[in-house]
Amino acid sequence: MEEKKSDMILEGTLAQLRETVRRVLEVPYYRSSFARVGIGAAEDIRSLADFQGIPLTEKEDLRKNYPIGLFAEPLKKVVRIQASSGTTGKMTVVGYTARDIEMWATAVADALGRAGVTPDDIVQVGYGYGLFTGGLGLHYGSEKLGALTIPLSGGNTERHVMFLRDLKSTVLACTPSYALHIAETASEMGIGPEAFCLRVGIFGAEPWTEAMRGEIQKRLGLDRALDIYGLSEIMGPGVAMECAHMNGLHLAPYFYPEILDEKGVVLPLGCQGELVLTSMGKEAFPSIRYRTKDLTTLSYGRCPCGFYGWSLSRVAGRVDDMLIIRGVNVFPSQIEEAILSVGGIEPHYLIVVSRQGALDNLEVQVEVSEEAVDEISHLEELRQTLQQRINKILGLGARVRLVEPMSLPRTEGKAVRVRDLRKGDL
C-alpha cells in the first residue's frame, strides 16, 4: 500500500518536472545546454535518473544571461521584477507572472498559517521592500492570509519599536540580526519586551543558530522565533519555513529538492550537502536544478501541523561562506553557538581572518555586555573561557578579542559576520 502511494507520488512529481523541462526548453540557453547531454524534449525525462542527467544551473548562468535571457515568458506577461545584487558581480534579475505572484503569496500564507499566524494577527514587516524579495514576499503572503500587515521595511528602528508598542503587533518578520537590533534599540529607549504583544517571529534571509533562537525569543518576549528560508532565484521568502512544531523547514509544494555532494552526486535523505531546487508550475522564471550553494539535509514525511512532504534542516551556511583556516573547515554558525553559550557576552560578533606569512589567523571580536564591563577583573577570565570553547569546537587556535558594548556594526538587513583580509575584505 505504502509502496503504491510512493509510486504515485513519484509519477506525479515526474509529470510536474517534465512540465518544467518543457517550459525551460522554450529558452534558447537551456535548449542548447540540454542538447549537449542529448535532451531535446520533455518526453526524454522518463525517470528520476533521466532528470538527474539535466545540467545544473548556477547564479553565473543568470549573470551570463543578464538581464532577462532566462525568462520563459515575454515581458508582456510579466507583472513584477525582483533582483538580487549579490556581493560581487552583476545583478540577477527574476520575473513573475500574475500566477507566479499568486503562487508565491499562497506559499507564504500557507507557511504563516502553519506557524500559527491567523487573520487576527498584526504582522510587522521589517524586511526591505524593493528589489529584495523579503519585504514584498512577506507582505503579499500576510495579506493573503488576511492579517493586518504593516510595511515598515528595514531602517528607522525606533519607529519599529514604537509600532510594536503602540500598534501591539503580534508578529515580527525581519532578519534575525535585525530582530536583535530592534530589541536592543527598545532597551535603549527604556522599553522592555513586556511592553510588546509579540507572539511569533518570522526570521530568515541569513544563517542563524538554535542558540540565537533562544536569545531573540527572550529579548523580544516571543512565544516562538521561526526560521524562514528562500532565495530570489527560486522565488523569495517562503520556499521553506518552520511551523509551530519546529520540525524542520517545510518545503512549499512548488519545488523539487535534491541534495548534492561536492562532486555533484545526489545524496540520500538525511545526508548534508548542497540544496538544488527545481520549480514546479512557475511560469516567468522557472528554475531547473538550481544550485543554491546552501548546506542542509532533507527529510520526507508528515508533520503534526498537517504538512506532508519534504522538509529541510536549518541551513548551516553557504558552501562559499565556509572558511578554510589552516586547512580546517569553519562555519560562522559554529562560532555563534560558542558565543551564545557563554554569559556576559552580547550576540554581536565579527570574525576576522588574516594571513601572517604562510599562516592563517582567526580572530573573533565579541562585544561584552554592559554588566560584564563593570566587572573588569572578570573580563580576562571571560575571554579565555570563550576562546577555549571556540577552540574546542573548531579544533584550532582562534584568538578572542572582547570589544566595547555597541562597538560592532548593527544591521537592518543581512549581517556581515566575516571579514576575510586574505581576500582583501576591508
Q: Which residues bind ligand DLL (CB under 6 A)?
A: 84, 127, 132-134, 204-207, 227-232, 236-237, 292, 294, 315, 318
**Closest CB 383 distance from ligand DLL, rounded Å:** 29
Residue 57 vs 387, nearer CB to ligand DLL: 57
Pairing of strands 122-125, 171-174: parallel
**Closest CB 92 distance from ligand DLL, rounded Å:** 8
**Closest CB 175 distance from ligand DLL, rounded Å:** 7
User: What residue is closest to ligand DLL based on CB?
Assistant: 204
**Cβ-based burial of 302 (10 A; exposed 0-12, middle 13-18, buried ≥19):** exposed
Whether 121 contacts 170, CB under 8 Å:
yes
Q: How many CB atoms lie within 10 A of CB 369?
A: 14
Reported for 209-218, long-range contacts at CB under 8 A and 24+ positions apart, including other chains, are: 209/314, 209/333, 209/336, 209/337, 209/340, 210/314, 210/337, 211/336, 211/337, 211/340, 211/341, 212/176, 212/336, 212/340, 212/347, 214/340, 215/180, 215/340, 215/347, 216/176, 216/179, 216/180, 216/183, 218/193
**Closest CB 330 distance from ligand DLL, rounded Å:** 17
**Closest CB 197 distance from ligand DLL, rounded Å:** 23
Residue 157 vs 232, nearer CB to ligand DLL: 232
**Closest CB 368 distance from ligand DLL, rounded Å:** 27
CB neighbours of 91 closer than 8 A, spacing ≥ 6? 66, 67, 83, 84, 85, 131
Residue 96 vs 132, nearer CB to ligand DLL: 132
Nine-digit cell string for 347:
550576540
Strands (E), 273-380: 273-279, 290-296, 298-302, 308-312, 317-318, 323-325, 328-330, 345-356, 359-368
Residue 206 vs 283, nearer CB to ligand DLL: 206
Whether 419 contacts 354, CB under 8 Å:
no
**Closest CB 372 distance from ligand DLL, rounded Å:** 29
**Closest CB 115 distance from ligand DLL, rounded Å:** 13
What whole-number distance in Å separates Cα of residue 212 and Cα of residue 190? Answer: 23
Residue 84 vs 334, nearer CB to ligand DLL: 84
What whole-number distance in Å separates Cα of residue 238 and Cα of residue 133? Answer: 10
Residue 95 vs 207, nearer CB to ligand DLL: 207
